[in-house]
Amino acid sequence: MRIVVTGATGMTGRAVCRALKLREGSEVIGLCFSREAPGLTKLDLRDADAISTLFKDTQPITAVVHCAAERRPDVCEVC
């Protein structure tokens, strides 16, 4: 089972990665953006081409757990 976890350097993402790595047979691909960490893949979730490349290069992917978030809502843009 191959699982992608976004926001793997945040509090929730770290906990999810840790729990999933304990499952036998699980491969966890943790994604990070502004806070790089060893063992994680740096990826900008706003870059559609980068996401497409990740999915093509890491097939098959069983699940994506989206834990990435902006903790400062006042800096978010309205589209």
For 21-56, write each residue's pLDDT tens digit. 999 989 999 999 988 889 999 999 999 999 999 999
pLDDT(62) > 90:
yes
Separation CA 4–CA 57 (nearest Å):
12
Separation CA 5–CA 28 (nearest Å):
7
Q: Which two tokens stand for residue 43?
A: 């990826």
Domain range for 57 is: 2-75
The reported pLDDT for the residue numbered 69 is: 84
Q: Report the number of distinct structural domains present in the chain.
A: 1
pTM confidence score: 0.86
